[in-house]
Structure 1
Amino acid sequence: MTETPAPDALPGTPPLAGPTCGACGARAAVQWQRRLTDTEFAAHLALEEARRVERLRLADPQEPPPDFGPMPTPGECVTPVFGCAAHAINKDAAALVHQKTCTAPDPTHLPGCTCTPEPAPKPEPDPVPAPLPPGWG
């Protein structure tokens, strides 16, 4: 017996807003991140360049020009990926950033994916407490 997922909205009502599953289009239940593909990154750079040009055009000429800093790099950019309850990857994999070639939420590889996600960032060490003033110890 195969269960059919519950509909996202009642018949005759507008669809519910929000993210949808990349595999089937149902309402998303989980989210993870992956790096941008080369095409997505090129589009992102084009938007950033256009934003900077527009900011320069609108800048007050009597003030210093805006400082934008360096352009984004592929290692700084991610995009969200969504999956419904039936097309979700496991929580440990969802906590990591996936490669741009990640196929999730491909049903043939669930609850995992075909890429090796980036390792989790190293936790920052606890700060060393300041020494107590003399006579307090």
Structure 2
Amino acid sequence: MTEQPDVPAPISQPTGGPACTLCGGPACVHWQRRLTDDEFTEYLHASQSRRDELTLLADSQQAPPDFGPLPLPADCTRAVYGCVNHAVSLDAASLIHTKTCTAPNAKDLPHCDCTPEPAPPPEPDPTPTPLPVSWGGTGKA
């Protein structure tokens, strides 16, 4: 009788982590979209409630907390997740989508039905710091 080599057990699917917004499967890509009007209203309410609570709990002998202005719609995004079958393209995932974007809608993939915001301009390369004269540099930029 010959011995069979040990066969490793199959790797199970991960159970934690984000799930695809469309089907609930394990997500492999995510992108951002702006909050809908209802989501933004809910977010503002939660932000104001948190500020009110912190103000109530603040030390009365100290200056009151200064939270700055409440966020604007342009300050808020929500993550959208897609599995292998419901992922947008890498180029589309790198941009912020509109609040009405339907991705991951299966009929539009690997694209979406909105025009995402343009990517921010690339940052210029920083100017190198000149070497000190003692290191053989000129000391000038």
Q: What TM-score, normalized by structure 1, do the two folds share?
A: 0.84
Q: Which residue identity is paired with 1:98? A: H
Cα distance in 1 between the residues matched to 2:92 and 2:137: 47
Q: Matched residue of 2:107: which SS?
A: helix
| Counterpart residue number, 1:136 | 137
Cα distance in 2 between the residues matched to 1:132 and 1:88: 48
- Bigger radius of gyration: 2
Label 1:133 to 1:17 Cα distance change in 2 as closer, same or farther (>3 A).
closer
| Counterpart residue number, 1:118 | 117
| Counterpart residue number, 2:103 | 104
Q: Which residue identity is paired with 1:86? A: N
Whether the aligned pair in 2 keeps the contact of 1:8 and 1:26 (CA below 8 Å) is no
Instruction: Give ranges in structure 1 of 5+ residues lacking alignment.
Output: 1-6, 10-15
| Counterpart residue number, 1:78 | 77
Q: Give 1:19 shift.
A: 1.2
Q: What TM-score, normalized by structure 2, do the two folds share?
A: 0.82
Whether the aligned pair in 1 keeps the contact of 2:19 and 2:27 (CA below 8 Å) is yes
Q: Give 1:29 shift.
A: 1.1
The question of 1:27 aligning with 2:26 is answered yes
Q: Give 1:105 shift.
A: 0.3
What is the aligned-residue RMSD (CA, Å)?
1.7
| Counterpart residue number, 1:13 | none
Equivalent pairs, count: 125
Instruction: Give ranges in structure 2 of 5+ residues lacking alignment.
Output: 1-11
| Counterpart residue number, 1:36 | 35
Cα distance in 2 between the residues matched to 1:95 and 1:133: 40
